[in-house]
Amino acid sequence: MTYASGRHFLQIPGPTNVPDPVLRAMSAPTIDHRGPEFAELGRELLRDIKPVFGTTGPVIMYPATGTGAWEAALVNTLSPGDKVLCFETGHFATLWQEMAHGFGLEVDFVLGDWRHGASPEIVAEKLAADTAHEIKAVCVVHNETSTGVTSRVGDIRAAIDDADHPALLLVDTISSLGSIDYRHDEWKVDVTVAGSQKGLMLPPGMSFNAVSEKALAASKTARLPRTFWDWQPMLAANERGLFPYTPNTNLMYGLKEALRLLYEEGLPNVFARHARHAAATRAAVRGWGLEVLCLDEREHSGSLTAVLVPEGVDADKVRAVILDRFDMSLGAGLGKLAGKVFRIGHLGAFNDLTLAGTLAGVHMGLVLSGVRIDARGMDAALEVLQSD
């Protein structure tokens, strides 16, 4: 890499820009993970992480990245041969069901167009048909990082309740937690999967399972093998603020600071900020005459916006121009969207002027890539930003 002046614009949909105070907090010396000072930190974090999930129940913290928390959600609650209902909402939903398959689970994978969230109607239908209660879990990705489409978890919960079906509800919030309104308890989610590197504004390396009573009960009989991901020794050690094996202490310092920042801003303000930036971004995209991938107005992501490039344009070439010329990283199209979209991350530690700079970079990158756009895109975005 040649040296580039100023700060890199990291506008992928995560890992996000880590705030300076979080990076500084993480650079404190590592302490004894079995000593009293650590135990105090552990207890504090295990308590203070809960409001971000909208839960009063336990949240497991893994010293491992988010994919591990996916695995944990499955192996703690299910047994070989169990049936799970999954939705093809995008690349990550596809990977998660592949993982389930790899663990010997039977996956009912509802296909999709990657432009809509999981359908509450289909959940209702599938569960109603499952009179034998063979479906043990419904797996939903709250915010598809590959598409910028959210699934309406509250509506899915209602569909499960209406069907009076005992299936567990497992939700991936990796790119929504701390960015988009989320309610583990209110929506009666059984396992919420999350990671550190998006709305929590930390570097990658830590992941989470928020766990319901029902999920805990399921874990008592679940027979998939597990040790590193096992909830039971975690919960036992967590009682004293400790962990059954070495935790990643320095990321925990960062988490403490990140939670302080989130609560200082106020979660409702954080969610509103993300929604406002998403709206400004869509205004820019539409102002340029381009298309947003998400097709349902109820399902636009507050965390990122996936933009379809016109036929004949290679989205990856546009991204390369922007990286080379303006030192900004955007998200690539993944899986079947490769080359067809680019993704603008507007989540985490972010503000109006950085969004304006981001959109200016996209604007100029599109022009330099030969994509015809209407100059009014930027104006439309600024209108949104200055109007409330």
Q: Which residues are annotated as a binding site for substrate?
A: 343
Nearest Cα to Cα of residue 192 among 225, 153, 227, 247: 153
Q: Enter the DSSP assignment of 92.
A: H
Taken in order 362, 363, 368, 371, the sign of the CA dihedral is: positive
Taking the least distance from each CB to a copy of itself, the nearer of 119 and 248 is: 248
Q: Which helix (H) or strand (E) holds 138?
A: strand 135-141
User: What's the closest the beta carbon of residue 150 comes to a copy of itself, in angstroms?
Assistant: 20
Q: Residue 351: is it exposed, middle or buried by C-beta count within 10 angstroms (0-12/13-18/19+)? A: exposed
Taking the least distance from each CB to a copy of itself, the nearer of 83 and 363 is: 363
Q: Residue 73: is it exposed, middle or buried by C-beta count within 10 angstroms (0-12/13-18/19+)? A: buried
Taking the least distance from each CB to a copy of itself, the nearer of 3 and 297 is: 3
User: What's the closest the beta carbon of residue 250 comes to a copy of itself, in angstroms?
Assistant: 4
d(CA 204, CA 51): 21
Taking the least distance from each CB to a copy of itself, the nearer of 98 and 296 is: 98
Q: Residue 375: is it exposed, middle or buried by C-beta count within 10 angstroms (0-12/13-18/19+)? A: exposed
d(CA 300, CA 277): 12
Q: Which helix (H) or strand (E) holds 387?
A: helix 376-387
Give the annotated binding-site residues: 343
User: What's the closest the beta carbon of residue 114 comes to a copy of itself, in angstroms?
Assistant: 19
Taking the least distance from each CB to a copy of itself, the nearer of 86 and 124 is: 86
User: What's the closest the beta carbon of residue 167 comes to a copy of itself, in angstroms?
Assistant: 22
d(CA 231, CA 57): 13
Taking the least distance from each CB to a copy of itself, the nearer of 165 and 277 is: 277
Please report the beta strands in 173-233, taking only residues with DSSP state E, as ranges in sequence order: 191-195, 207-211
User: What's the closest the beta carbon of residue 154 comes to a copy of itself, in angstroms?
Assistant: 26
- Bridge partners (DSSP) of residue 328 are 9
User: What's the closest the beta carbon of residue 131 comes to a copy of itself, in angstroms?
Assistant: 30
Q: How far, in Å, are 61, 258, 327, 346 from residue 349 at the CA level?
A: 22, 10, 18, 9
d(CA 36, CA 180): 35
Taking the least distance from each CB to a copy of itself, the nearer of 90 and 120 is: 90
User: What's the closest the beta carbon of residue 34 comes to a copy of itself, in angstroms?
Assistant: 7
Nearest Cα to Cα of residue 247 among 88, 9, 8, 60: 60
